[in-house]
Chain A
Amino acid sequence: MSAPRILAALVTGTVFGFGLTLAGVLDPATIRNFLDFFGAFDPRLGFVFAGALLLSAGGYLVSRRFREPALGGGFAIPAGRPIDAPLVMGAALFGIGWGMVGLCPGPAIAGLALGLPQVFIFTVSMLIGIAAHDLWRARQTTAEAVAPS
């Protein structure tokens, strides 16, 4: 924990939230219309991803030229995990919820700024979903430790 790293995370989060707002993804209709090929198809989410992937991939390629990030602490990039059932199950559950409402975690948090009660209800439900998962995992891990199979 260091002040420069916390400040960098704060600024980065702010840039991210600004980008979400500019991209138009705080509006669930942007998401749901992109997903609706047989109805009011709106390609904007595709443009959002194109812009995001371009810069994100650029940043990744630059990072590979360095041993350490600018503020130290090493690079923590998930690697080597297998493609397993939790990955696919979790992504499927997420996709259903994403399609139902048109909000994913970033816009759910940033969208609180809009002051809409519907976004607030969605985001609180999302936080409960996170807590439910984490408590369930913690219980599972404890059970495994007590009775190894």
Chain B
Amino acid sequence: MPWPAYFQSFLGGAVIGLAAAMLLLLNGRVAGVIGAVGEVVEGVLGRVGREFFERAAFVIGLLIGPFVFLAAFGALPDVTVTSSLPVLVAGGLLVGFGTRLSKGCTAGHGVCGLARLSPRSIVAVATFFGAAIVTVFVMEHVI
């Protein structure tokens, strides 16, 4: 893997971190993706929270982001997803349920929580990285 690719990933990460800093400094909120998506789901379930429109706007922004990338660079990244249907469904259910239960995902616990050295987030990140590494190992090298 060439160094320009590493630099691009670092830059992309920095832009993600910039977004987290912006939301904190402007609105005073943690840029948690699952918190925002969960608020939208809650709204659909009939429990419209006080910050529903803010959270929904953040989620809509997440969807717009790739199109800004497309406008800027002329193409979206070339992505191939190889997972089978049962794996996609089981994975999605686990990610949705799990991140809600632990009140944070790679964004809330990872990018935001780790940055302020939150003990809960450190435990969460260590746990989900550990579980993910074991899962990939089992799927790629055992089964």
Q: Which residues of A contact B (CB under 8 A)?
A: 1, 5-30, 32, 35-39, 42-45, 47-60, 62-63, 66, 68-79, 81-83, 86-106, 108-114, 116, 118-119, 121-135
Contacts and interface: CB of A to CB of B under 8 A. Distances in A.
Contacts, number: 486
Majority-rule SS of B interface residues: helix
Nearest to B125: A91
Majority-rule SS of A interface residues: helix
Contact of B81 (A55, A60, A74, A119): A119
A21 B12 contact: yes
A99 B139 contact: yes
Contacts of B109: 91
B25 A24 contact: no
Given A50-B13, A83-B120, A105-B107, A94 B95 contact: yes
9 contacts: A9-B55, A19-B18, A29-B80, A50-B10, A87-B102, A91-B102, A114-B66, A125-B96, A128-B92
A63 B99 CA distance: 26
Nearest to B68: A18
B71 to A, nearest CB: 10
